[in-house]
């Protein structure tokens, strides 16, 4: 992806999600008359104050550092909730929790509320989501507007950042025709933390394991791959 | 917040007038936003499989 990314970070103490939005098109920046592809990345449980672009002392996020340096970094955004379900409902509807009503365990997003993927699909976008958080299951209405909505509970060994990336890129390769909207929801930094291999290097304490989990394949330069999106 | 980064002290009682003002603003905000609700969906069923998945993430304990 060659276009400039926008980085939106939730920095307040109550924030538990970090979101990145990237807009790009095939072969670089969109040409006149073309609609840009849109990729929404949510990293569940990631604290902005444990990332080097926000001044953290440990080198937890070299790739995000590069994105922040070349893109737009929002330093003062506020998550609408400390819980994933309510936060993502606000993220996808542009409504406060009191307005969309998704605040409790059983609450469901009503069909009458338009979600971002519904708006984009109505404008000709193909829409794809992959996540590993049971709070976002179809039964709660988060699949509205998605052509494909994949869920795999993250504690299964097969669900990690690498798998999310591979499935998303495979979907892009299969669909070929832009424009598309991807919603990628990562769970590697959500507790219980289990940083893989080389990333288990900060130490044995909880904060060390957390920092190691932050530094997994989507935030590091490990195993770089080249894709045209 | 800079003087108490961990927010360990409850300062609500230090300035009651300010506390009251903030509370009224918050309640007004909630009333306005709640009034925007256009629909309420029936609650979802929480089955044992979902409970198991949520517990694995540290919820519902």
Residue A229 lies in a domain: no
Are B31 and B25 spatial neighbours (Cβ–Cβ below 8 Å)?
no
pLDDT tens string, chain A, 229 residues long: the values are: 333 334 343 333 333 456 666 665 445 566 667 889 999 999 998 888 888 888 889 888 888 888 888 888 888 888 899 899 999 999 999 999 999 999 999 999 999 999 999 999 999 999 999 998 999 999 999 999 999 999 887 666 567 888 888 899 999 988 767 899 999 999 888 888 777 777 777 888 888 888 887 765 454 444 444 443 3
Give the domain extent around A86: 5-214
User: Does B61 map to a domain?
Assistant: no
Task: Give the structural domain span for B10.
Answer: 1-38
For residue B28, being part of any structural domain is answered with yes
Domain membership of residue B17 (yes or no) is yes
The ipTM is 0.80
CB A181 within 8 A of CB A24: no
**Domain-embedded: residue B60:** no
Neighboring chain A residues of B40 at a CB cutoff of 8 Å:
101, 110
Whole-angstrom Cα distance, residue A99 to residue A92? 13
User: Do A139 and B45 touch, CB atoms closer than 8 A?
Assistant: yes
Nearest to A40 by CA among A199, A154, A146: A146
Q: How far apart are CA B14 and CA B53, in angstroms?
A: 43
Position B24 in a domain: yes
Give the CATH number for residue A160.
3.40.720.10
Question: For residue B11, is it within any domain?
Answer: yes
Based on the structure, what is the number of domains in chain A?
Answer: 1
Judge whether A31 lies within some domain: yes
Q: Does A227 map to a domain?
A: no
Interface of B to A at Cβ within 8 Å reads 7, 29-30, 33-34, 36-46, 50, 53-54, 56-58, 60
Question: Do A36 and A3 meet the contact criterion of CB atoms below 8 Å apart?
Answer: yes
Interchain contact, A107 vs B41, CB within 8 Å: yes
pLDDT at A26: 45
Provide the domain count of chain B: 1
Could you read off the pLDDT of B23-50 as tens digits, one per residue?
999 999 999 999 988 889 999 999 999 9
Residue B26 in any domain: the answer is yes
Q: How many CA atoms lie within 13 A of A229 on its CB side?
A: 22
Name chain B contacts of A140, Cβ cutoff 8 Å. Answer: 44
The pLDDT of residue A22: 62
- Domain membership of residue B58 (yes or no) is no
A192 preceded by a cis bond (ω within 30 of 0): yes
Closest alpha carbon to A61 in A215, A224, A203? A215
């Amino acid at each position: 992806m060659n276009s400039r990314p926008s980085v939106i970070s939730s920095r307040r103490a109550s924030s538990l999600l970090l979101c990145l939005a990237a807009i790009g098109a095939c072969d670089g920046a969109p040409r006149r008359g073309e609609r840009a592809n849109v990729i929404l990345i949510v990293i569940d449980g990631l604290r902005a104050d444990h990332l080097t672009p926000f001044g953290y002392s440990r080198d937890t996020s070299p790739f995000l550092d590069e994105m922040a340096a070349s893109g737009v970094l929002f330093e003062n955004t506020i998550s609408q909730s400390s819980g994933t379900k309510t936060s993502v409902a606000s993220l996808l509807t542009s409504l406060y929790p009191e307005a969309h009503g998704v605040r409790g365990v059983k609450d469901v997003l009503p069909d009458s509320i338009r979600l971002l993927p519904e708006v984009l699909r109505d404008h000709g976008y193909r829409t794809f989501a992959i996540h590993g958080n049971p709070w976002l299951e179809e039964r709660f209405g988060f699949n509205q507007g998605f052509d494909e909505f994949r869920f795999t509970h993250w504690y299964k060994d097969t669900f990690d950042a690498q798998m999310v990336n591979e499935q998303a890129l495979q979907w892009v390769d299969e669909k070929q025709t832009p424009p598309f909207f991807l919603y990628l929801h990562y769970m590697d930094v959500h507790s219980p933390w289990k940083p893989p291999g080389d990333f288990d290097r900060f130490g044995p304490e909880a904060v060390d394991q957390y920092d190691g989990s932050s530094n997994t394949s989507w935030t590091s330069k490990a195993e770089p791959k080249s894709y045209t999106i | 917040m800079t003087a108490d980064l961990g927010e360990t002290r409850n300062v609500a009682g230090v300035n009651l007038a300010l506390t009251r003002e903030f509370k009224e603003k918050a309640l007004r905000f909630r009333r306005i936003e709640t009034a925007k609700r256009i629909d309420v969906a029936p609650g979802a069923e929480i089955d044992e499989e979902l409970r198991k998945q949520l517990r694995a993430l540290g919820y519902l304990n």
